[in-house]
Amino acid sequence: VLYIRRDINTPARSWSQNYNQRTRTKPNPSQSKAYTMDAIHAQLANIRTKIDDVPVLQKLEDQTNVPKEYFAVGGSVLFGLLVLFGVGAGSLSSVIGFLYPAFQSFKAIENRANSDVTQWLIYWVVYSFFSIIEVFVDYLLYWIPFYYAFKMAFLLWAMLPQTRGAKFLYDNFLKDFLKTNESKIDAALKDAKTSAGKMAAEATAVTKEVVAAVSDNVKKSVGDKKDE
């Protein structure tokens, strides 16, 4: 009987002990807040170590006495909001898609790094195709939510050496397409060049005729005033 009573009472004591333990270990709001602040400060310290080589942020910190990691975080948040809500996002994505690759292409040419030159040539091929497609479907892109955020992510994926997205697209899609249609593209460019030359010649001739007619009218008006 005693053995049975001990077995019956044991779960009760165990439940009571577990309840008391849960009550004693209930998280304290102040401790949770302190832990959260410690995590935030740790992330800010990590960001600070990554931006130590940015002289502009260091100069801002010296002038304003505001930690430079705050400028980095605030700028990133502002940048993200601008992209998401489309405030100047078109121009911003165009600058990012052109300015950084152009500077890196210049460095690759000057340093005579053949692998880098090839990488950036491939990027410019992909960027050209992307820009052409964007022109023809521009009226549809207006209705796509957060289009410029996706565009910027795509351009970064295509240009960054860590991802090399442009090389992936070129090797898997564009290279075969361009090789297959190379003769057709050359013929179309030749025709366009010929047509552009004819149009330029016709525009030059028309311009000369207009200038000559205006000059004759001016001379005639000046002669009439002298006669009067």
Q: Identify the CA nearest to 75 among candidates 51, 102, 100.
A: 51
Q: Identify the CA nearest to 147 among candidates 105, 102, 190, 92.
A: 92
Q: DSSP 3-state assignment of 27? A: coil
Q: Which of the given ranges, 62-71, 110-119, 122-131, has the highest pLDDT on average?
A: 122-131
Token code pair at residue 174: 């564009």
- Interhelix angle 114-136/147-159, rounded to 10 degrees, is 160
CA gap 12, 61 in Å, rounded:
62
Provide the pLDDT confidence category of residue 84 given band limits of 50, 70 and 90. Answer: low
CA gap 114, 112 in Å, rounded:
6
Q: DSSP 3-state assignment of 86? A: coil
Cα-Cα-Cα-Cα dihedral sign, residues 210, 214, 217, 219: negative
pLDDT digits (tens, 9 = 90+) for 184-223: 888 888 888 888 877 778 778 778 777 777 777 777 776 6
Q: What is the pLDDT of residue 209?
A: 74
Q: What is the pTM (predicted TM-score) of this model?
A: 0.55
Rounded mean pLDDT, 111-127:
88
CA gap 42, 37 in Å, rounded:
8
Q: How far is CA 91 from the centre of its chain?
A: 10
pLDDT digits (tens, 9 = 90+) for 141-179: 767 777 777 888 899 899 888 888 999 999 998 888 888
Name the residue with tokens 């990554």.
50
pLDDT digits (tens, 9 = 90+) for 6-54: 444 445 445 455 545 555 555 566 677 777 877 887 888 888 887 877 7
Rg of the chain over CA atoms, in angstroms?
A: 34
Q: What is the pLDDT of residue 120?
A: 92
